[in-house]
Amino acid sequence: MKKNSYSEAPKEINDALLSAIEIEDFLPPPDQLIAKEETLKITIALSKRSVDFFKSAADENHIPYQQLIRKVLDNYTEHYAK
């Protein structure tokens, strides 16, 4: 494997990059990272406070708020389903 020199980088960063070891990519492709589950569209009335909370939390984590609500419900179901 060819080592690159990073002349613009500070010496300690350049040294760290040069001594780094390349590892094989072990992750599956993006379309296989999240298991697809069958979903069902419903209409539900939630409190404004709850929706505002989920929207805020979703923004902070850069995910859609509906996905966050679905994950909370799925976790609840997983915990209490018999």
CA distance 77 to 82: 9
How far is Cα 81 from Cα 58, in angstroms, rounded to an integer? Answer: 26
Looking at residue 3, its pLDDT comes to 58
**Domain residue extents for the chain:** 11-26+34-80
pLDDT at 12: 87
Query: In this predicted structure, what is the pLDDT of residue 77?
Result: 93
Q: Which residues, 6+ apart, have CB-to-CB distance to 39 below 8 Å?
A: 70
pLDDT, averaged per 10 consecutive residues of the chain (82 residues), comes to 66 86 82 80 96 95 93 92 86
Q: Which 8-state DSSP code applies to residue 7?
A: T
**DSSP 8-state symbol, 32:** G
pTM value surpassing 0.75: no
**Short-list 20, 46, 19, CA closest to 68:** 46
Q: Tell me, what's the pLDDT at 76?
A: 94
